[in-house]
Amino acid sequence: MKSPLPSDLKSKTVVVTGGANGIGAAIVDSYARLGANIVIADLPSASSSANKIINSVTGGGRMIFVPADITNWFSMVDLFKTTKSNFGRVDIVVANAGIMETKPFFDFDVDISTGDLKEEPGLARVIDVNLKGTMNSKRIIVCIVAPDLVRNMHDSYDAQDRRELLI
């Protein structure tokens, strides 16, 4: 089966969120084999895994680890500023970071003294990472990585059109 990726990415820089483990690590490996510069963006606790990847993956590009929490706006801004500072540009962003609930959805916690259903704290974290984190990535890409695109949209469309275009 032919790869959907171009065969040569030597001049490109790729940011992979959640890139230190699992699917993200496989994505990093694929882009590295094509010679791209890679930024592995993951939680600080993933630095050991990220460094193992950096030391083991071969390819023509350079690779760095940038600790980042995709749910934190300022952490994401720092990620993209660090990427541009190290590589001069960002060409591809893979918003891969994500988590799942650690217990079955219908496994409810009940307050024994009142019989009331308790709020599931893990659900909010899943939504923060999987939705808010991805939205942070997309918004920063448009505003920091592609400011010319934003300027062109302001010149070419009215406010309603811009909102629909960004969705």
Ranges of each domain in the chain: 13-166
Give the 3-state secondary structure of residue 24.
Answer: helix
Residue with tokens 């918004």: 139
16: which residues sit within 8 A by CB, 6+ positions away? 24, 27, 28, 31, 38, 39, 40, 41, 94, 96
Q: How many CA atoms lie within 13 A of 149 on its CB side?
A: 11
Pick the CATH number of 13-166 from 3.40.50.720, 3.40.50.300, 3.40.30.10, 3.20.20.140: 3.40.50.720
For residues 17 and 95, give the distance between their C-alpha atoms in angstroms, rounded to a whole number: 5
Specify the pLDDT at position 157: 47
26: which residues sit within 8 A by CB, 6+ positions away? none
Beta bridge partners of 92: 14
- Residue 137 CB: number of other CB atoms within 10 A? 23
64-88 confidence digits (pLDDT tens): 999 999 999 999 999 999 999 999 9
pTM of the model: 0.77
Specify the pLDDT at position 155: 54
- Residue 48 CB: number of other CB atoms within 10 A? 9
- Residue 149 CB: number of other CB atoms within 10 A? 13
The percentage of residues in the chain with a pLDDT greater than 70, rounded to a whole number, is: 80
The percentage of residues in the chain with a pLDDT greater than 90, rounded to a whole number, is: 44
12-21 confidence digits (pLDDT tens): 899 999 999 9
Specify the pLDDT at position 165: 32
For residues 134 and 101, give the distance between their C-alpha atoms in angstroms, rounded to a whole number: 17
